[in-house]
Amino acid sequence: MRRTTLPLPPTVEVQCDLCGRYGRYPRARYVEIAGTDNAPDALSRFAAARGCARAIKAGPTDLDNRCRIKYVHRRGEPSERGS
């Protein structure tokens, strides 16, 4: 199965529903911290790089204790895809 690389917006917003962490980063800084511009992979790498213990320790089957970081998309803001 082929993985798709998703484009990151100029400003990347992330938040974790579990611990409440939130941040906005210019795309270049976010990629620098995460070590990749592949959006799906970057989330967990970013969380681990910022010190999230759940992102560092939880295994792929530990669904209750893993980091719940996600991208924030604000309604009404244009995306790079023009939607």
Q: What is the pLDDT of residues 28-57, one digit of tens each?
A: 999 999 998 888 788 889 998 998 888 887
Burial 9-46 (b: 16+ CB within 10 A, else e): beebbbbbeeeebebebeeeebbebbeeebbeebbbeb
Most confident of 13-17, 64-68, 70-74: 13-17
φ/ψ region of 35 (left if φ > 0, alpha if ψ in -120 to 50, else beta) reads left
pTM: predicted TM-score of the whole model, two decimal places: 0.73
Percent of the chain with pLDDT over 90: 33
Contact 50, 35 (CB under 8 A): no
Contact 67, 54 (CB under 8 A): yes
